[in-house]
Amino acid sequence: MPNIVEDVPKMLKPAADAAVDWLNQSRGTKFTLTGVADPPQILEEITEKPMDLGLILCDEDTCVREQVRIQMTNGSYTFTTINEGPTQVPSHLDPPVGIRKDWIEHKLAKHRFIVLLFYRGLW
């Protein structure tokens, strides 16, 4: 089972945010970064050596996991996707608990009430 980290490590945050911006711009989406899957243990800034990063991205009630290869080239990041497109997040990669709370609060701000249906652990 993958290790999902809701708080993106400080050293990965700039590269992860840039990767999300790149994905959104190239695909016309509005995903936000809600966590990383199996983050690498790095102690310093990303170098010219490529690094693979699993991004957990959400937009409203849709969440996907993207594997992105990040590399520093001439002082800026370059990105390539490892898989061909977004994949639905399996149940064990549900958005972190804090994300669910924000989603519920966001929906309640728009509607008088909401109905939650739980099915075999999926939300």
Of 80, 82, 66, the closest CA to residue 33 belongs to 66
Q: Are 63 and 2 in contact (CB under 8 A)?
A: no
Q: Are 123 and 100 in contact (CB under 8 A)?
A: yes
For the chain, list the domains and their CATH numbers: 4-110 (3.10.450)
Residue 60: the pLDDT is: 73
Strands 76-81 and 4-5 turn out to be unpaired
Using 50, 70 and 90 to split pLDDT, how confident is the model at 123?
A: very low
CA distance 53 to 42: 12
Q: Does residue 10 carry a pLDDT above 80?
A: yes
Q: What is the pTM of this model?
A: 0.67
Mean pLDDT, rounded, for 58-75 = 83
Residue 106: the pLDDT is: 80
Of 106, 102, 53, the closest CA to residue 82 belongs to 53
